Amino acid sequence: MGTMTDEIRERITTNLTESRAARRLGNWDHCWQLLEDAHVLSQPWVWPHIRVHREMLVAGWEARDVREVSGQVLRLMVGGPASALGRYPAGNSGRARIPATKPMPIRLDLAEILERSTQRPT
């Protein structure tokens, strides 16, 4: 994957900020959708990927979801190295209910954002 673009960095940051707001309001569906989208965008880069899993861990903790908490602890340990090695399951939502090694389809809008990060200036 190429260099993280400002567009991706800003989208991840916005999603994490909005997910915290949704969490405070108890809007868990919206919270998790924002986190899942941030996860898909963050996978190619170590620190953003870890940052998203940390936010997922916090959300799981606040939701009192034991499965999510334990799944996120595991993902925090392996997500960074997987990104560093380029061995992550593209499109995976990052949630504990999904196998950590399962690739998933990437929604078109997210795929387009990721594609722009691989384009070289002409």
How many angstroms separate the CA atoms of 35 and 119, rounded? 25
> Side-chain half-sphere of 110: how many Cα atoms within 13 Å?
21
Domain-wise residue ranges, the chain: 6-115
* Residue 96, CA distances (Å) to 33, 36, 47, 102 in order: 14, 11, 19, 11
| Structure confidence at residue 1 as a pLDDT band (50, 70, 90) | low
SS3 119: coil
How many angstroms separate the CA atoms of 113 and 78, rounded? 25
pLDDT tens readout for residues 51-95: 999 999 999 999 999 999 999 999 999 999 999 999 999 999 999
